[in-house]
Amino acid sequence: MRKFLITFTVLFAVINIMAQEHLSFKGIPIEGSMTVFCQKLKVKGFTSIGSDNNLTLFTGDFTGRYATVGVTATDDGKNVFAVVVLFDSSGEWKNLVNTYNYYKELYTRKYGKPTNSKEKNPAISDSNTALMAEVHQGTVVYGSVWEVTGGDIQLSIEKSSGVYEGMVMIRYRDSQNVEAKIQKDGSIKYFV
């Protein structure tokens, strides 16, 4: 009976510790209220550029590069569940793929081989115009995902709002808070 109680106590402690782990962004756990999380980003040197409902945008340095960072929370602002890093749009395929490859290598060194990765640009020619036309049409699939402790990190090349422009995007999603958002609202709405 004593062994059973000790085993049960240890198992409960391990489950409790695992349940409390959240994905971190720049050393900040993706948890808690929008207000508190955003204050921590400001301490890290990010500058707020605006907010609307459950989305707050910042600019600042991310791994030595200028980026826009979006933080999103539940509709009531009580639980942050995702952070997205957006790099400047570019009309040059070479810039996009070089940035993508840089971050893929960086995350692979840190977290190991991606859980899932697909890189396909169906352009018939290697000209920048053909490649960027495919980005604009949304037929380019360049993405990698790392499932890590507390959530997942998604790296991708996405179509941007400019004509024949794209951007590299990195999404950090905390699994506990994403699940809580789905339970509460029935879905996840991304802001990008």
Mean pLDDT per 10-residue section of the chain, whose length is 192 residues: 46 44 90 92 95 91 95 85 95 96 97 95 88 90 94 95 92 79 58 40
Strand partners, 147: 152
Domains of the chain, by residue range, sit at 22-185
Give the tokens for residue 120: 């396909």
What are the angstrom distances between the C-alpha of 130 and each of 34, 70, 77, 134? 41, 30, 42, 6
DSSP state of 44: T
How much is the pLDDT for 20?
Answer: 57
Query: In the prediction, which pLDDT does 175 show?
Result: 83
Residue 35 is predicted with a pLDDT of 92
DSSP E strand stretches across the chain: 24-25, 28-29, 47-52, 55-62, 65-73, 80-86, 116-120, 141-148, 151-159, 166-174
Distance between CA 60 and CA 171 in Å, rounded?
16
pTM: 0.82
Instruction: Tell the residue number behind the tokens 């509460």, with chain if given.
Output: 184
